[in-house]
Structure 1
Amino acid sequence: MHYAFIGLGHLGGHLAMNLVKGGFAVTVHDLDRDAAAGLVQAGARFAASAALAVAEADALITCLPSPKASTAVLEAVLPHLRPGTTWIEMSTVDFPVLADLARRAEEAGVVTLACPVTGGVHKAKSGEITILVGGAKGTYERHAPALKAMGGAVIHLGGLEQAATVKVMTNMLAFIHLIAAGEALMVCKQAGVDLKDAFEAIRASSGNSFVHETESQVILNGSYDIGFTMDLAVKDAGFALEIGRRLGVPLKLASMMEQTFLEGRARYGGNAWSSMIVKLLEDTTGSALRAPGFPARLGEAD
C-alpha cells in the first residue's frame, strides 16, 4: 500500500512518522514544508502539492485542523484520485460535513473511512493513540495494518456517523474533566494541601481521569503545553452541542463547558493551549497552580 498523508501538524506529523517507521510507502504534503523534514529523513517522499501527493497513492490520509481545511484538500485532490482509492479522514469533523464530503468522494469512486484519533499528542508520538474507525468493514480490514502501525487500540464502531460521534463525545468529556480538575486542584491548594500530594491522591482515587493524569501535569508545571489549542477546543465543543441538538439530547454540562472555553479563548487567544482554561480560575483567585517535579510536555522528563 502506498499512502499519501496530508496534514503534518501536532498530531499528523507523529501519525505519519509511525506509518513510515512501520515500513509503508508514504508521500507527505503540508503547507509548511519544514514540517516534513524529519519524515523525509525517515524515508517518506515530499510532494509539493496535495495533487502530486496522491498521484500514485492507494489511499489518502488527512489529519487537518478544521472541516474547512478537509473540504479544501478533498476538493483539490478528488480529480487526481484513482477510482478504488480510499480516503482515510483522521481529522475531527462534524458528521454533516463528513457525510457530504464522503458522498462527493463516492461519486468519484473513492471510499471513505472516518478514523479520528483520541488520547493526545504524546500518545500519537509514542504510537499508542486510540483510533476510532467508521466505515465499511472490508475497507477497514484492508487498511488495518496501516492503522495499527499509526496507533495503539484501533476500534471499529460502525459507520461514519458512529465514529465521528464517539470522537466528539470523548473530547466533550475531556474538556469537562479539565475544568473540573482545575477546580479540584484549586480547592486543594486553598485548603493548604501540597499540590504534588493532591495530584497523587486524586490519581489514586475514584475521582481520577485520563485528563487529570495528563493535563494536570502540564498545568502544575506552568507550561500548559498539551499540543491542543483553544480554537480547536471551541470547535469541538460546538460539534458536541450540534450533535446533542440534532439527536434531541440536552447537554447541560457541555453548554457550560462551551461558554467557559469561549471565555478562555477571548481572554487568552485562539492559539493558547486549551489547558490554559484553568487560568481563568487562577486569575480569579489570584493563585497559580504550580508544583515542582512535573514536565513541561508529556513524555519528557522534568
Structure 2
Amino acid sequence: MAYGFIGLGNLGGHLAASLLREGFEVVLTDIDPALGQRHLADGAIWADTPAELATQCDTIITCLPSPAVTEAVLAQFLPAARSGAVWIEMSTLGRDDILRLADVAAEACVQTMEAPVTGGVHLAAQGKITVLAGGDEEIFEAHKPAFQAMGDRIFHMGPLGSAAVIKVITNMLAFIHLVADGEALMLAKRAGLDLGQAWEAIAASSGSSFVHETEGQLILNGSYDVAFSMDLALKDLGFAMGFGREFGVPLDLAGLVNQTFVRGREAYGGDAQSTQIVKLLEDLLQTDLRAPGYPERLE
C-alpha cells in the first residue's frame, strides 16, 4: 500500500521517515522541497504538488501546522484524489475542524481518519510516538500497521472527532506541567540547591512528569529546543478553552497558563520555542536555570 505524505516539518519528516524505515512505499510533497531530500535517499518518491501526489496513492497523510493550512492543502488534492481514497489527518485540529473537513472530503468520495500524535519530536524520530486515532474502526484496522510503524502506543479513541479532544487534553496538561516545572526549578535555584540534583530528585519523586523528564532537560541546557512554537501552544490552548466552554468545565489552570503563553509570545515572538515560556520567570527574577550535562536536543 502506497502512502502519500504531505508536510515534512519537525514532526511530519520523522513520521514519514518511520514509514520508509519499515518498508512502506511513500510518496512525498512539501512546500519546501529541500525537506524531502533525506527521504528520497531512503527510497521515497517525490511529487511536486499535493494534487500530483493524490493521483499516485490510495491513502494520503497530512501533518501540517494549522487548520487553515490543512484546509488549503485538502482543497489542492481532493479534486485529484481517487474515489474511495482515505485521508489520514495527523495534525492537531479542533473537533469541529476535523468533522467539517471530513464532510468536504466525503463529497469527493474520500474517507477520513484522524490520527494526531503526542510525545514529542524526539519520540517521533525513534518511531515511538503515541498515536491517537479517531474514525471508522475498519479503516483504523486497515492502517494499523502504518500507525505501528510510526509509534509504539496506538489508541483508537472512538468515532471521528474523539482523537481531537484527547490530543488537546494531553497538550493542555503538557503546557500546565511546563509552567509548573519552571516554577519548581526556580524555587530550587533560589533556595540554593544544585539544579542538577534537584532535577534528578524531582524525576524520582511523586512530583515528576513526562514534561519534567524531557523538556526540563532543555530548560537546564538553555536551548529550550523542543521544536514546538509559542504559536502552536496557543493554538492548542485555544482549542482546550473552547472545549471547556462547550462542555461546561471551568479550566482555571488552563486559563492561567493560556495567559502566561500570551505573555510569552509577546515577549519572544510566536516562533519562539514553547519551552521558552519558562524564560519569563528567568527574566523577571534575573536568574537563569542552567545546569551542566543536559542535552541541547532530546534524542
Q: Which residue of 1 aligns with 2:30?
A: 30
Give the C-alpha shift of residue 84 in structure 1: 1.1
Q: After superposition, what is the alpha-carbon deviation per residue over 1:31-79, rounded to whole angstroms, capped at 9, x for unaligned?
A: 0100000000000011111101111101000000000000001111111
Quote the Cα distance in structure 1 between the aligned partners of 2:202 and 2:288: 18
C-alpha separation in 2, matches of 1:297 and 1:89? 27
Give SS of 2:161's match.
helix
* Map 1:111-260 → 2, pairs under 5 A: 111-260=111-260
CA separation in 1, counterparts of 2:247 and 2:85? 32
Please say if residues 95 and 162 of structure 2, whose CA atoms lie closer than 8 Å, have aligned partners that are also in contact.
no
Q: Distance in 2 between matches of 1:236 and 1:176?
A: 12
Q: What's the counterpart of residue 80 of structure 1?
A: 80
Shift of 1:195: 0.2
Letter in 2 for 1:219: I
Work out whether 1:3 is the aligned partner of 2:3. Answer: yes
* Aligned amino acid, residue 74 of structure 1: L
Assess if the C-alpha contact under 8 Å between 2:10 and 2:121 holds in 1: yes
**Residues 189-211 of structure 1: CA deviation (Å, up to 9, x unaligned):** 00010000000000000000000
Q: Provide Cα deviations, 1:164-195, integer angstroms capped at 9, x if missing partner.
A: 00000000000000000000000000001000
TM-superposition CA deviations, 1:229-283 (whole Å, max 9, x none): 1110011110100111111111111110110001000100111100000000001
Cross-structure match for 2:274: 274
- Aligned-partner Cα distance in 1 for 2:35–2:160: 29
Q: Any gaps of 5 or more consecutive residues in structure 1?
A: none
Give the Å deviation of 1:95: 1.0
Instruction: Report the 3-state secondary structure (helix = DSSP H, G, I; strand = E; otherwise coil) of the residue aligned with 1:153.
Output: strand
SS in structure 2 at match of 1:160? coil
SS of the residue aligned with 2:207? coil
Which amino acid in structure 2 is aligned with residue 289 of structure 1? L
SS at match of 2:288: coil
Q: Give the letter aligned to residue 45 of structure 1.
A: I
In structure 1, what is the Cα distance between the partners aligned to 2:154 and 2:118?
Answer: 11
Identity over aligned pairs, percent: 55
Distance in 2, matches of 1:234 and 1:91, equals 15
List aligned pairs for 1:25-64, cutoff 5 A.
25-64=25-64
Q: Name the count of aligned residue pairs.
A: 299
Residue 83 of structure 1, CA deviation: 1.4
Farther off after superposition, 240-249 or 201-210: 240-249
Q: Give the aligned partner of residue 65 of structure 1.
A: 65
Note the C-alpha offset of 1:97: 1.2
- Uncovered stretches (5+) of structure 2, i.e. residues with no partner: none
Instruction: Tell me the TM-score normalised to structure 2 length.
Output: 0.99
SS at match of 1:224: coil
CA distance in 2, matches of 1:160, 1:272: 32
TM-aligned CA deviation for residue 106 of structure 1: 1.2
| TM-score w.r.t. length of structure 1 | 0.98
Moved more, 238-247 or 11-20: 238-247
SS at match of 2:152: coil
SS at the partner of 1:296?
Answer: coil
How far apart, CA to CA, are the structure 1 residues paired with 2:81 and 2:247? Answer: 34
| 1:104-159 alpha-carbon deviations (Å, 9 max, x no partner) | 11121111111000000000000000000000000000001111111111110101
Cα distance, 1:212 vs structure 2 = 0.1
Q: Secondary structure in 1 aligned to 2:5?
A: strand
How far apart in 2 are the matches of 1:247 and 1:74? Answer: 29
Kept after mapping to 1: 8 A contact 2:147/2:154 = yes
Instruction: State how far apart, in whole Å, the 2-side matches of 1:282 and 1:189 are.
Output: 11
